[in-house]
């Protein structure tokens, strides 16, 4: 078997996926299993005065109605959780903080009974003043969503910097150079503000967990991107040794970040703990829209530039609305904070990035993590600045673009930089610099725009991998990257197969169980192909060496003369003298041989000045757009839609193409119409009729992309790269076409028309 690296190999689980035979978490059934349904607050901020469960308990099949009283006066477990700050309860104690906050859980023999009883739980509230906007929430007199205090936070929250006395649960700072000097040196200083709304993840599979206790062990079968985070959290909450917590993660039907952190898991485990039976907790489709969304943001940018186009200084103030609970908000504030400078050389930078509590549904990880918000700001700003100094936007970017050996705003020295190549390819895709032929319809105007991105990958993190050959000839891959549909198992099997010379389709994936699987940080920031891939490559090299050494002894040849191919160890040049891999193991008197490797990317930044290594390497890309704007309606059609993604090396061209299509389409949807609508904190479009995602008919026929590769380079993740830059590239093209600059996503036809007509 020759290596499949760089081919268009189909997904190892493709057939199962399209024929619907994958056992998703939502399909799991256990004997005696109960169903758990949440009862949610209709108020954005209120005190609970009474919970009456009497009617609900009378519903046939109801086993238990869980309220905070069930967690009081006991020391077996702690009902508090949160990705960074432990600020969320399984059910509210006395206060609800958003429309959708969980006040009770109904556990019943059937899902229908649980649903019916949930409607009958009668809760009385006293409303409190609420706050919904992250900037307003920073005011001294704004209602406090949580009472954070130094005493409560203590030392346990490493690197978290709440701004006590405000709703900011984290304040990330980046400080580089001298701002006063920068402004003095600048010929032009421009200030602009940009905003982005919340957006929903919309995976096909809703949130679901089955949990049960057995002999002091806890089993959590759940669709989640962070199995080991979950293990740690559940062990802490239920006071169990980590080795007794089995987080088992089946294949998922999409996630895009929604299945990161505790979602249905805590409720399912609590219900199992209180009833002594297996429990399935489901958050149905409409509940996903109020469980976790993308952080809305306000981004204020001030930039100084010289007449010749040299960037001198940049000051950014970001308010990420993290909603009623911090979730990953502090991480978002940090990653967006250092990401907000963009792929440019700017000697003086000053960033204040806040994650701010409000009385809206919580916001968390979302494909394009933290960067969609700041790239919207920085790539619009680059075009606005270019206009101020009268320079071509591509030339202006090229003049300032960061490259190898340059120091980023964090102080780290950049390597493997290809921003210029990406930008050039994006500009060429729309024939930048050549005359643009007018549209045949006089009321339709054409324009072109580009945008470039820099996005970090989680640093520092660790991933382990193990590869095993058994005496009966099975090859088993042990790793914990979550398969969310992105093709992780396929590319990892491809990478693991190289040293063994086997068909990746013949590699069995052991599945994720935190008590057995090698460690993995989590499936996030497009890191798994790079991180787990590296560990598995090391593991398979070690295994191959082991097999060769044993085979050399058994076959009485020199190990250096042996190769591994098609499931055999064979003497190079003498294919008849070969031995099946399993036979080598068997003849060595072992049940199996294995290889193991662990890979850690080093780095990290200080939350106080943003200095350090923010990302062990950076995701890079660019987008080229040509629009046709109907000046009578404001409707925008894409005539060219080109993505450029730097990949280092492409492991699988098929799945890479599909991932890039996916991220471009998600970028398209979130540019034009994907936005959570809120009215006094209540989501008014929590369904797929009112919250629209693109259908296949919406995908522009012109959509195309390049995957940039460099001989010998490291693999770079590519799953998210395009999402954040579709918006600014489209917006720059619209400005080029009709002179309208929208600063608040999404780009609706109405906003464009208002701009055109001066309304």
Closest CB to another protein among residues 230, 629: 629
Paired tokens of 332: 């978002």
The CA-CA-CA angle for residues 721, 727, 732, to 5°, reads: 120
Supply the minimum distance, in Å, between the C-beta of residue 751 and another protein.
9
| Region near another protein per CB under 8 A, out of 46-54, 65-73, 516-524, 672-680 | 672-680
576: CB partners within 8 A, 6+ apart: none
Judged by CB under 8 A, the chain residues 681 through 720 that form the site for another protein are 684-685, 687, 689-690, 692-695, 697-698
Residue 652 corresponds to which tokens in the numbers above? 């699988």
What gap in Å lies between CA 742 and CA 384, rounded to an integer? Answer: 11
* Smallest separation, CB 745 to another protein (Å): 14
Is residue 164 within 8 Å of 149, Cβ to Cβ?
Answer: yes
Q: Which CB sits closer to another protein, 137 or 629?
A: 629
Maximal C-alpha separation, the chain? 86
Nearer to another protein, 289 or 320 (CB): 289
CA 619-383-340 angle, to 5 degrees, is: 40
Q: Which is nearer to another protein, 59 or 135 (CB)?
A: 59
Strands of 368-460, DSSP E: 444-456
Among 328, 672, 730, 736, binds another protein (CB under 8 A): 672
- Interface with another protein (CB under 8 A), residue from 23, 54, 404, 750: 750
CB of 749 to another protein, least distance (A): 5
Which C-beta is closer to another protein: that of 82 or that of 669? 669
Backbone angles phi, psi at 547, to 5 degrees: -60, -40
| Segment lying near another protein (by CB under 8 A), choices 149-157, 401-409, 474-482, 748-756 | 748-756
Q: How far is the CB of 625 from another protein (least distance, A)?
A: 19
Return the H-helix or E-strand segment holding 193: strand 188-196
Nearest to 254 by CA among 528, 523, 527: 523
The 297-336 site mask, x for binding another protein (CB under 8 A), equals ----------------------------------------
Helices 393-400 and 419-429 cross at an angle (nearest 10°) of: 170
- Cα 231 to Cα 466: distance, rounded to the nearest angstrom: 20
Nearer to another protein, 243 or 698 (CB): 698
Shortest spacing between CB 220 and another protein, in angstroms: 29
Give CA–CA dist 475/547, Å, rounded: 12
SS3 475: strand
**Distance between CA atoms of residues 716 and 703, nearest Å:** 22
CA 316 to chain centre: 23
Smaller CB distance to another protein: residue 19 or 689? Answer: 689
Give 438's DSSP letter: P
- Residues within window 68-127 making contact with another protein, judged by CB under 8 A: 112, 115-116, 119
CB of 284 to another protein, least distance (A): 10
Closer by beta carbon to another protein, 113 or else 498: 113
First vs last C-alpha separation in the chain: 65
**Three-class DSSP category at 198:** coil
Least distance from another protein to the Cβ atom of residue 735, Å: 20
Q: Which of 736, 621, 183, 188 is nearest to 375 (CA)?
A: 621
For position 440 contacting another protein by CB under 8 A, the verdict is no
Question: 700: how many CB neighbours lie within 10 A of its CB?
Answer: 16
Least separation in angstroms between CB 696 and another protein: 9
Are 593 and 540 a contacting pair, CB within 8 Å? Answer: no
Contact region with another protein (CB under 8 A), list: 212-220, 309-317, 352-360, 742-750: 742-750
The nearer residue to another protein, 594 or 748, going by C-beta atoms, is 748
- Phi and psi dihedrals of 383, rounded to 5? -70, -35
Q: Phi then psi for 363, rounded to 5 degrees? A: -120, 150
CB nearer to another protein: give 156 or 759. Answer: 759
Token pair, residue 597, equals: 């490797």
> Going by DSSP bridges, is the β-strand pair 604-605/562-565 parallel, antiparallel, or unpaired?
unpaired
Distance CA 446, CA 759 (A): 22
- Binder of another protein out of 109, 541, 673, 702 (CB under 8 A): 673
Number of residues that bind another protein (CB under 8 A): 28
Identify the residue among 214, 404, 608, 677 touching another protein (CB under 8 A): 677
Closest CA to 162 of 366, 396, 355, 406: 355
From the CB of 225, what's the least distance to another protein, in Å?
Answer: 27
| Pick 199 or 427: Cβ nearer another protein | 199
Tell me which stretch binds another protein (CB under 8 A): 31-39, 89-97, 365-373, 669-677: 669-677
Shortest distance in whole angstroms from residue 690 CB to another protein: 6
Residue 376 Cβ vs another protein, minimum distance, rounded to whole Å: 19
The yes or no reply on residue 753 touching another protein (CB under 8 A) is: yes
In the complex, the smallest distance separating the C-beta of residue 323 from another protein, rounded to whole angstroms, is: 21
By beta-carbon proximity to another protein, the closer residue of 68 and 111 is 111
| d(C-alpha 699, C-alpha 664), whole Å | 9
Question: Does 560 interact with another protein (rule: CB under 8 A)?
Answer: no
Nearer to another protein, 51 or 752 (CB): 752
Q: For 75-125, where are the alpha helices, taking DSSP H only?
A: 111-120
Query: Dihedral through CA 475, CA 480, CA 481, CA 485, nearest 10?
Result: 70
Q: What binding mask, one character per residue, do residues 599-638 give for another protein by CB under 8 A, x or -?
A: ---------------------------------xx-x---
Q: Which is nearer to another protein, 188 or 443 (CB)?
A: 443
Chain positions contacting another protein, by CB under 8 A? 112, 115-116, 119, 632-633, 635, 672-673, 677, 684-685, 687, 689-690, 692-695, 697-698, 748-750, 753-754, 757, 759
């Amino acid at each position: 078997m020759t290596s499949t690296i760089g081919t268009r190999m189909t997904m190892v689980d493709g057939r199962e996926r399209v024929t619907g035979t994958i056992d998703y978490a939502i399909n799991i059934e256990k004997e005696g299993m109960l169903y758990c349904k949440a009862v949610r607050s209709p108020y954005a901020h209120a005190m609970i005065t009474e919970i009456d469960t009497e009617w609900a308990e009378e519903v046939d099949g109801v086993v238990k109605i869980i309220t905070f009283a069930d967690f009081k006066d006991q020391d077996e477990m702690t009902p508090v959780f949160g990705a960074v700050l432990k600020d969320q309860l399984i059910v509210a104690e006395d206060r609800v903080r958003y429309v959708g906050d969980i006040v009770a859980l109904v556990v019943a023999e059937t899902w229908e009974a649980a649903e019916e009883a949930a409607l009958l739980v009668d809760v009385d509230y006293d409303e409190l003043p609420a706050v919904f906007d992250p900037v307003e929430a920073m005011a001294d007199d704004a209602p406090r969503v949580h009472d954070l205090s130094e005493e409560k936070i203590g030392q346990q929250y490493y690197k978290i910097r709440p701004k006590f006395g405000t709703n900011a649960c984290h304040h990330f700072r980046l400080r580089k150079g001298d701002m006063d000097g920068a402004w003095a040196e600048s010929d032009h200083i421009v200030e602009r503000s940009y905003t982005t709304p919340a957006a929903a993840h919309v995976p096909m599979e809703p949130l679901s967990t089955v949990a049960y206790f057995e002999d002091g062990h806890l089993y959590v079968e759940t669709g989640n991107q962070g199995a080991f985070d979950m293990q740690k959290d559940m062990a802490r909450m239920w006071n169990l040794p980590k080795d007794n917590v089995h987080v088992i993660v089946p294949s998922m039907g999409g996630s895009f970040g929604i299945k990161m952190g505790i979602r249905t898991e805590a409720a399912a485990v609590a219900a199992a703990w209180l009833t002594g039976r297996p429990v399935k907790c489901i958050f149905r489709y409409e509940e996903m829209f109020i469980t976790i969304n993308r952080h809305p943001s306000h981004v204020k940018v001030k930039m100084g530039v010289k007449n010749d186009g040299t960037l001198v200084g940049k000051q950014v103030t970001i308010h990420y609305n993290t909603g009623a609970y911090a979730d990953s908000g502090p991480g978002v504030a940090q990653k967006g904070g250092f990401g907000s400078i963009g792929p440019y050389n700017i000697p003086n930078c000053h960033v204040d990035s806040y994650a701010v509590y409000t009385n809206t549904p919580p916001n968390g990880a979302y494909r394009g993590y933290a960067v969609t918000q700041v790239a919207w700001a920085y790539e619009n700003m680059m075009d606005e600045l270019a206009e101020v100094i009268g320079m071509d936007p591509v030339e202006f970017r090229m003049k300032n673009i960061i490259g190898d050996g340059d120091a980023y705003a964090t102080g780290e020295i950049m390597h493997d930089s290809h921003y210029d190549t990406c930008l050039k390819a994006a500009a060429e895709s729309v024939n930048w610099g050549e005359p643009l032929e007018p549209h045949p319809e006089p009321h339709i105007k054409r324009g072109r725009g580009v945008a470039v991105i820099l996005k970090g990958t989680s640093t520092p993190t660790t991933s382990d991998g193990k590869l095993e050959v058994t005496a009966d000839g099975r090859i088993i891959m042990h790793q914990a990257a979550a398969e969310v549909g992105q093709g992780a198992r396929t590319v990892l099997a491809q990478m693991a197969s190289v040293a063994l010379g086997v068909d990746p389709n013949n590699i069995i994936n052991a599945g994720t169980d935190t008590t057995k699987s090698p460690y993995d940080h989590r499936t996030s920031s497009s890191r798994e192909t790079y991180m787990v891939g590296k560990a598995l490559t090391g593991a398979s090299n070690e295994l191959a060496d082991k097999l060769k050494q044993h085979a050399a002894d058994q076959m009485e040849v020199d190990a250096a003369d042996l190769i591994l191919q098609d499931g055999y160890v064979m003497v190079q040049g003498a294919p008849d003298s070969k031995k099946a891999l399993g036979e080598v193991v068997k003849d060595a008197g072992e049940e199996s041989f294995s290889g193991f490797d662990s890979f850690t990317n080093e780095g990290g930044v200080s939350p106080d000045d943003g200095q350090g290594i923010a990302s062990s390497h950076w995701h890079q890309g660019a987008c080229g757009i040509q629009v046709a704007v109907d000046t009578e309606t404001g409707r925008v059609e894409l005539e060219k839609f080109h993505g450029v993604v730097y990949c280092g090396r492409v492991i699988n061209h098929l799945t890479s193409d599909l991932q890039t299509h996916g991220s471009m389409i998600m970028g398209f949807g979130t540019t034009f119409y994907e936005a959570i609508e809120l009215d006094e904190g209540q989501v008014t479009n929590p369904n797929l009729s009112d919250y629209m995602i693109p259908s296949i008919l919406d995908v522009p026929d012109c959509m195309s992309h390049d995957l940039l590769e460099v001989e010998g380079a490291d693999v770079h993740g590519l799953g998210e790269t395009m999402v954040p830059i579709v918006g600014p590239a489209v917006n720059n093209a619209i400005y080029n076409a009709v002179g309208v600059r929208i600063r608040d996503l999404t780009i609706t036809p109405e906003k464009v028309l208002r701009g055109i007509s001066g309304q």
